[in-house]
Every structure is written in structure tokens, then in C-alpha cells.
A and B are shown apart, each in its own frame.
Chain A
Amino acid sequence: DSGVTQTPKHLITATGQRVTLRCSPRSGDLSVYWYQQSLDQGLQFLIQYYNGEERAKGNILERFSAQQFPDLHSELNLSSLELGDSALYFCASSVEGARDIQYFGAGTRLSVL
């Protein structure tokens, strides 16, 4: 158990809908990262938050947004969903930055039908 908690484990929704994925980092970790992994693809970095502030952005679509709350949990919001958004979404956390080890949650599997 990495200590990073993601909910829900699995989401099934329809095109055009909006969903929210939730992540609780390890105790003491200030950075949260979101990744997307499509079937048999590598990890695509989406966005990083550090202590409530956006620190880095990757290939995140405009339809996607995230935030980190004062208690350090984070949410990833995906809107106007398309079939191609079906993927595994992982959250990771680290003490501070990318030179630190990132610990991953078990992921949320999103299926857009």
C-alpha cells in the first residue's frame, strides 16, 4: 500500500458528461501529480500541484481541470467527455518536487461509453 488513495476505483459514464476523480496523498506529502494512461500506452503527465498551488502543467486538455485543497487532497475534473478519454488516471504524491520519489495510487479506471 503506497499510502495514496484514489476514489472511485472505476467510473462508467457517457460522452458529454462530467466526472470528478479524487486523490488523497500520503501523509506529509505536499505535491500531487495527475497522470493519464491509455490502454497499452505510457504515462502522460497532466498536472502537478504543490501545497495548493499549480506548479507544472503537462499535456492536459482544456476540458480537464484540477485543484488541490487546503487539506492537500486533490480533485481532477473531466468535462465534455469523449470516447478517447477512456483511460486509467493515476494520482501520485511526493514530499516536495520531482527530485523526490513519487508514490502512486491504485488509479481510477474511466470508461466513457
Chain B
Amino acid sequence: QKEVEQDPGPLSVPEGAIVSLNCTYSNSAFQYFMWYRQYSRKGPELLMYTYSSGNKEDGRFTAQVDKSSKYISLFIRDSQPSDSATYLCAMSGGSNYQLIWGAGTKLIIKP
């Protein structure tokens, strides 16, 4: 079993919809949670960074961490075609603090 599980998709939704992207993990020591966005064949860019549990909001993006369920989510409100990309979750906090990556979810926003 992988330490971090993420559905690769693709997830296709109409423009304007609320998007929910998720990752589950198995290591209860993880404390730092990140979401990166990667456009096709470009370098990943950080979207959201949270420490421990709770919610964090930045514009149309909300990151949520539920440590009791070992589940993290990224919500995108009022989705735009420009949000079409692959979204990668990443987390750290284990014994060596190495960043563990999800496989990425490909998101397609249809105009």
C-alpha cells in the first residue's frame, strides 16, 4: 500500500462547478500538507500549504486536513478552464521529514 493515495482521474467538471480533490494517507506522523498544481509538462507550483489539521482558504481555493481520518482535500470554487491541470498532494513529517507525493489528479474544466 502506498503511503499517499490519490485518484489519478481524469476528473471532468463544467465551468463554474465546485471541485473537490482528495488524498488519503497512512502515516499518522505527517504534519505538513501541500497542494501543487502542474500544467502539462511544466514545473509544479505550490497552491496551498497547511500545518496540522484545519482549513486554509486562499481566494477560490480551500485546503482541508482531517488528521483523524488521514484525509486531505482541496476545494476549488467557481472553477475556470484555466484550472485544468494536474493537482498533486504532498506531505511530510515522518521520521526523516521527506516529502511524500500523491500520483496527481488530472482535472479538466469544460467551458
**Interface residues, chain A, with chain B CB atoms under 8 Å away:** 2, 4, 33, 41-43, 45, 48, 56, 88, 90, 97-99, 101-107, 109
Contacts and interface: CB of A to CB of B under 8 A. Distances in A.
B99 A102 contact: yes
Interface stretch (B11-19, B53-61, B69-77, B101-109): B101-109
A97 B31 CA distance: 14
| Interface residue range, chain B | 20 to 34
A98 B92 contact: yes
A81 B107 CA distance: 33
Contacts of B92: 98-99
**Residue in A33, A56, A90, A102 with the greatest tally of chain B CB atoms within 10 Å:** A102
A33 B93 CA distance: 17
Contacts of A107: 41-43
Contacts of B46: 101-103
A33 B44 CA distance: 13
Residue of A48, A101, A105, A107 most packed against chain B (CB within 10 A): A101
Interface of B: 31-32, 34, 36, 41-46, 49, 88, 92-93, 96-99, 101-104
Q: Is the interface of B mostly helix, strand, loop or mixed?
A: loop
B101 to A, nearest CB: 5
Contacts of B102: 42
Contacts of A98: 32, 92, 96-99
Contact of A42 (B96, B97, B98, B103): B103
B99 A45 contact: yes
A42 B88 contact: yes
Given A42-B88, A90-B43, A101 B34 contact: yes
A42 B104 contact: yes
A88 B41 contact: yes
A106 B46 CA distance: 13
A53 B85 CA distance: 34
